Structure 1
Amino acid sequence: MIRGIHHIALNTGNFDRMQHFYGTTLGFEQVGDPHAWANDPTSDRAIGLRDSAARQVFFKAGNVYLELFEYTNPVARDGEALRPCDRGYTHFAIDVQDIASEYARLSAAGMRFAAEEPCDFGPIKAVYGWDPDGNVIEIQQIEESEAASFEKLGDRAPA
C-alpha cells in the first residue's frame, strides 16, 4: 500500500551551497549527517549507474523529505534548467502561512522570483522562484477551506 510521497531528490554540482540554501535559507531541518559512497556495487545496482560516487543528505521539509545529492562519478550532463512547461519534474511547492513575509525574507536572502510580488488567485497566492542551481520552487499560501489546502493532508501536516 502506498502511504504517500517520502522525498524529492535534487542533484547539484555544489553540495555545500545547496546544503546552506535548503538548511539555512529555507530553514529545512537536516536529518543526520551527510553520507558518501564510492565503489559500492549495491548502490550502483540500486540506482542503475556504474562506478557511482556521491554524497547525500536528507532534510525534513514539513510533510516530506528533500534529498540532496552531489555526484562526482559519473559526471553529470549539464544543460539548461527545466522550465515550468517542460516535461519531467519541473518544480516542487512550499506551503507558507504568510506569503508576503516569506517572499520578502527569501528575496532578501538572494532567491530570485518570476514576479515582483506573489500573485493573488483569490484563495491561493503563489509565485515561482529558483534555488541557487536554477531548480524551480513555488511558494504558495492556500486558504484552509480550499480542497488542496495543506491542512487537508491529514495528521501528517504540522500544526
Structure 2
Amino acid sequence: MICGVHHLAVSTPDLERFVDHYQRWYGFERVADGGWEADNERIGRMVQLPGSAARYAMIRLDRFYIEVFQYLEPVGTRTDRRMCDHGLIHLCLYVDDIEAEYARLSALGMDFHCPPGGPDTMQATYGRDCDGNVVELLQVIAPDHPFPFLGTMDQAAPPSSK
C-alpha cells in the first residue's frame, strides 16, 4: 500500500547554491549527501542515463524532503517551461502569514509573479527560486477548507534575512 509522499527531486546546475538558497530563503535543513560515479551501472539503468555521474543532497522542511541532484555527466540543460507545460510545475510551501513571507522573500530577491491574493478561504502567490522553478506560497484562512495544511511545522522559522 502507498502510505504517502516522501520527497520530490530537482536537478540543478549548482548543488551548493541551490541548497544554500533553500536553507536561507525557505528554512530547509540539509540532512544527507551522496552521489555516484560513472561506473555505477545499476544507477545508470535506474535513471536511464548510462555512464552518468552525479552528486546529491537531501534537504528537509518538517516532514517534506527535496532530493537535489547536480549531474556531472551528462551535464543537463535548462529549458524554460511555462506553467501550462506538462510535468511538475511548482512546489507549494505553506505559510502562516503570507504577507510577511512575501515581504521577507521579496527583500531577499525572490521574483514574484504578483502579490498574494485569492478568495476568502485562502491566499496564494507564485514566485521563482534561484533556478527559475516556480514556488507557491499558500495560506489557508478558512478552518473548514477542503485541503488544509496537515503538517506540524516542527522546525523553527527561517531566518529573516541574509
* Cα distance in 2 for residues equivalent to 1:3 and 1:41: 30
| 1:47-92 deviation digits (Å, cap 9, x = unpaired) | 1211111110111122321111100111213322x22111111111
* Cα distance in 2 for residues equivalent to 1:63 and 1:123: 24
Which residue is equivalent to 1:139?
137
* Cα distance in 1 for residues equivalent to 2:36 and 2:122: 42
TM-score by length of 2: 0.87
| 2:90 pairs with 1:107 | no
SS at match of 1:45: helix
Question: Offset of 1:14 from its aligned partner?
Answer: 1.4
Which residue is equivalent to 1:120?
118
Between the two proteins, what is the percent identity of the paired residues? 37
TM-score by length of 1: 0.89
| 1:90-117 deviation digits (Å, cap 9, x = unpaired) | 11100111111111111111111001x2
Which residue is equivalent to 1:17?
17
Tell me, which stretches of 5 or more residues in structure 2 are unaligned?
154-162
* Cα distance in 2 for residues equivalent to 1:58 and 1:78: 21
Contact 2:19 2:59 in 1 (8 A): no
Given residue 112 of structure 1, which amino acid in structure 2 is its aligned partner?
Answer: D
Q: Which has the higher contact order (CA 8 A, sep 6+)?
A: 2
Tell me, which stretches of 5 or more residues in structure 1 are unaligned?
152-156
Which residue is equivalent to 2:70?
70
Which residue is equivalent to 2:93?
94
